[in-house]
């Protein structure tokens, strides 16, 4: 399989690899996928008091497209409000990285990771209604 | 052989195919241009010369497995040989016996042929394998009935390189008057094979797995006691009526020469490859935690390692080692989304099956290439583990199985 230049770039120079403190109030963690399926993504966001995502970190177990998708979304969510970040669509990710059809599930997983991280943050802040809806 | 670039990667996929040995190519060359006759032409010297070359090739093939040249049928490759053996025997003896025993880790061409035979009314038993990849002989005995016409168990597995107990299987078959077929595509030239000693009645052989050309293989069919098969390709009645079609003298010469070289060099080659294999495996174990060998270490050909590097997905790993030509047991490299059915059959858990690489070394692999490849794999596994949430959890002592993962 040949990968797009952008996938190769994110794979070779992944942005924002790392971990944040799970327990910290300003951190939201999304852990999606399953080891048995060959993809696990963990996306963490750090949200400022103004409701804007200040920082994002990821770790991913998966193929190059999965690593690239999660690396890309850490860049995209930074500077966005939770609302704006939750509007990132898997199709945007797939288009940006020129993912072939067989790799679309990687972009779906990345979108799920954003939503899960936001939901975790909101849950910590007692916004149960929103987290139920997501 | 391979340089260290993406355009010319180090070749570590000898179970997929082997380069044709230059000595084999030299032996074949005259049969394309000067000695171009049809080996079935009986009326002139061109035909006689081509026929003599084909028969010499046949003798060389027979020689490496302890057979008589009259028992060798040339085919297009091991897939055709497996089809001919299974369908040919099943169809001939259908009225007396209709049960076949094979094993879940066989090559797809054996399994798919068995599926077709099931549709035609045959009963097929698919034996499981033990954790080390080998069948349990007691289970084979238990599966045998007076209706069992054929047992088909591969000699060496293409993914994990394990060697099945052929002699013991042959003895069990003989006792039950059941024919024993073995797919020896990965075994010829790598381990000693003797159709008499092992009671093998049919054996499939491939050209391109043993440094011969692609597009040719052979099927050994025992003459005493005689094994009858129904031809699957009809025509001019070549190959004693069992496989019609004009033979390619160049390919027959190539397969013969490949067998001759393999027989002469098997012992020294096995010793050299065993050293490289153990060197590689020892280094992985010493330099990386949580690496697992799939399949038995002892009952294994020296040219194969199949290793799971826990917490690093196989396709992701392969992307980082594009200067190495290897294959993976991960789902993502194949059309299906399931990880390798062979690894699953050993009881390797899905999450580990996704992290496996098959490393195949062979005649032209150098020590330098092995060291280079080992360095590259270790470095890339370390890099990707730093990026893996599963590795981090394992280091924190979190049991990955305790987490409720989403279904995909």
pLDDT tens, A5-49? 999 999 999 999 999 999 999 999 999 999 988 899 999 999 999
B211: left (phi over 0), alpha (psi -120 to 50) or beta: left
Query: What pLDDT does residue A36 have?
Result: 87
Note the pLDDT tens digit of each residue in B86-141: 999 999 999 999 999 999 999 999 999 999 999 999 999 999 999 999 999 999 99
Query: What pLDDT does residue B404 have?
Result: 84
Pairing mode, strands B148-152 and B123-127: unpaired
Taking the Cβ of residue A32 and every Cβ of chain B, the question of whether any pair is shorter than 8 Å is answered with yes
Query: What pLDDT does residue A133 have?
Result: 43
Q: In whole angstroms, what is the distance from residue B77 CA to residue B222 CA?
A: 19
Cβ of B405 within 8 Å of Cβ of A33? The answer is yes
What mean pLDDT value characterizes chain B? Answer: 95
Give the distance, in angstroms, between the CA of residue B207 and the centroid of all CA atoms in the same chain.
11
| Crossing angle for the helix pair A104-124 and A64-77, to the nearest 10 degrees | 40
The residue of chain B nearest to residue A12, with distances taken between CA atoms, is B320
Cβ of B354 within 8 Å of Cβ of A41? The answer is no
Pairing mode, strands B148-152 and B179-183: parallel
Cβ atoms of residues A57 and A44 within 8 Å: yes
Residues of B in contact with A38 (CB under 8 A): 313-315, 330-332, 339, 354
Taking the Cβ of residue B319 and every Cβ of chain A, the question of whether any pair is shorter than 8 Å is answered with yes
CB-based contacts of B103, cutoff 8 Å, min separation 6: B126, B127, B128, B129, B135, B152, B153, B154, B164
Cβ of B392 within 8 Å of Cβ of A31? The answer is no
Taking the Cβ of residue A20 and every Cβ of chain B, the question of whether any pair is shorter than 8 Å is answered with no
CA distance B9 to chain A (A): 15
Best A61, A106, A117 member to test B by mutation, with max B CBs in 10 Å, is A61
Taking the Cβ of residue A30 and every Cβ of chain B, the question of whether any pair is shorter than 8 Å is answered with no
* CA distance readout (Å), B160 to A38, B53, B329: 20, 36, 10
Three-class secondary structure of residue B111 per DSSP = helix
Cβ of A41 within 8 Å of Cβ of B389? The answer is yes
CA distance A75 to chain B (A): 16
Note the pLDDT tens digit of each residue in B129-152: 999 999 999 999 999 999 999 999
Examine the pLDDT at A97 and tell me if it is beyond 90.
Answer: yes
Q: In whole angstroms, what is the distance from residue A32 CA to residue A46 CA?
A: 18
Query: What pLDDT does residue A127 have?
Result: 65
Three-class secondary structure of residue A53 per DSSP = strand
Nearest CA to B301 among B159, B107, B163, B182?
Answer: B163
Q: In whole angstroms, what is the distance from residue A33 CA to residue B322 CA?
A: 26
Examine the pLDDT at B329 and tell me if it is beyond 80.
Answer: no
Query: What pLDDT does residue A131 have?
Result: 44
Residues of B in contact with A41 (CB under 8 A): 389
Provide the chain B residues 377-396 that lie in CB contact (below 8 A) with chain A: 386-392
User: B218: how many CB neighbours lie within 10 A of its CB?
Assistant: 33
Which region among B141-150, B153-162, B345-354 has the lowest average model confidence (pLDDT)? B345-354
Catalytic sites of B, residue numbers: 332
Q: Is the dihedral of CA A11, A17, A22, A28 positive or negative?
A: negative
Write out the two tokens for A15: 């942005």
Burial B316-348 (b: 16+ CB within 10 A, else e): bbbbbbebbbbbbbbbbeeeeeebbbbbbbbeb
Q: In whole angstroms, what is the distance from residue B2 CA to residue B131 CA?
A: 34
Q: In whole angstroms, what is the distance from residue B374 CA to residue B371 CA?
A: 5
Q: Provide mean pLDDT across the span B340-362.
A: 93
Q: How many residues can be counted in chain A?
A: 134
Please report the DSSP string for B343-388 in residue order: HHHTT--HHHHTTEEEEE--TT--HHHHHHHHHHHHHHHHHHHHT-
Cβ of A66 within 8 Å of Cβ of B319? The answer is no
Burial A64-81 (b: 16+ CB within 10 A, else e): bbbbbbbbbbbebbbebe
Cβ atoms of residues B211 and B181 within 8 Å: no
Provide the chain A residues 44-103 that lie in CB contact (below 8 A) with chain B: 59-64, 66-67, 102
Query: What pLDDT does residue B2 have?
Result: 53
């Amino acid at each position: 399989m040949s990968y797009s230049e952008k996938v190769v770039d994110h794979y070779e120079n992944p942005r924002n690899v790392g971990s944040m403190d799970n327990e910290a109030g300003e951190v939201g963690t999304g852990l999606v996928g399953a080891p048995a399926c060959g993809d696990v993504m963990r996306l963490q966001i750090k949200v400022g008091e103004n409701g804007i995502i200040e920082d994002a970190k990821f770790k991913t177990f998966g193929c190059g497209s999965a690593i690239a998708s999660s690396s890309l979304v850490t860049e995209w969510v930074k500077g966005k409000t939770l609302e704006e970040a939750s509007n990132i669509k898997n199709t945007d990710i797939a288009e940006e990285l020129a993912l072939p059809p067989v790799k679309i599930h990687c972009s779906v997983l990345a979108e799920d990771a954003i939503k899960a991280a936001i939901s975790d943050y909101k849950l910590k802040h007692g916004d149960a209604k929103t987290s139920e809806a997501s | 052989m391979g340089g260290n670039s993406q355009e010319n990667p180090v070749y570590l996929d000898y179970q997929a195919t082997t380069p044709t040995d230059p000595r084999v190519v030299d032996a074949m060359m005259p049969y394309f241009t000067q000695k171009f006759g049809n080996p079935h032409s009986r009326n002139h010297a061109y035909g006689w010369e081509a026929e003599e070359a084909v028969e010499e090739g046949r003798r060389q093939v027979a020689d490496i497995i302890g057979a008589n040249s009259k028992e060798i049928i040339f085919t297009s490759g091991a897939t055709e040989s497996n089809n001919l053996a299974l369908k040919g025997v099943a169809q001939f003896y259908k009225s007396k016996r209709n049960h076949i025993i094979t094993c879940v880790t066989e090559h797809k061409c054996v399994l798919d042929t068995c599926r077709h035979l099931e549709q035609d009314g045959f009963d097929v038993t698919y034996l499981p394998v033990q954790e080390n990849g080998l069948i349990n002989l007691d289970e084979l005995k238990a599966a045998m009935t007076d209706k069992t016409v054929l047992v088909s168990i591969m000699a060496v597995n293409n993914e994990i390189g394990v060697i099945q107990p052929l002699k013991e299987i042959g003895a069990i078959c003989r006792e039950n008057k059941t024919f024993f077929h073995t797919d020896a595509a990965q075994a010829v030239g790598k381990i000693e094979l003797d159709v008499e000693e092992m009671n093998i009645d049919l054996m499939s052989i491939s050209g391109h797995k043993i440094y011969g050309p692609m597009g040719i293989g052979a099927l050994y069919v025992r003459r005493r006691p005689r094994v009858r098969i129904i031809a699957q390709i009809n025509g001019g009645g070549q190959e004693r009526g069992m496989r019609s079609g004009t033979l390619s003298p160049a390919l027959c010469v190539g397969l013969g020469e490949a067998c001759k070289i393999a027989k002469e060099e098997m012992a020294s080659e096995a010793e050299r490859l065993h050293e490289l294999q153990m060197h590689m495996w020892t280094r992985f174990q010493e330099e990386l935690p949580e690496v697992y060998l799939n399949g038995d270490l002892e009952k294994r050909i020296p040219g194969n390692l199949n290793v799971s590097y826990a917490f690093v997905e196989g396709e992701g790993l392969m992307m980082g080692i594009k200067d190495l030509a290897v294959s993976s047991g991960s789902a993502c490299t194949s059309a299906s989304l399931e990880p390798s059915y062979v690894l699953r059959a050993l009881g390797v858990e899905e999450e580990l099956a996704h992290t496996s690489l098959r490393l195949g070394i062979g005649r032209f692999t150098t020590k330098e290439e092995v060291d280079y490849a080992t360095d590259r794999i270790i470095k890339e596994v370390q890099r990707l583990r730093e990026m893996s949430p599963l590795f981090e959890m394992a280091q924190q002592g979190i049991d990955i199985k305790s987490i409720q993962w989403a279904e995909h």
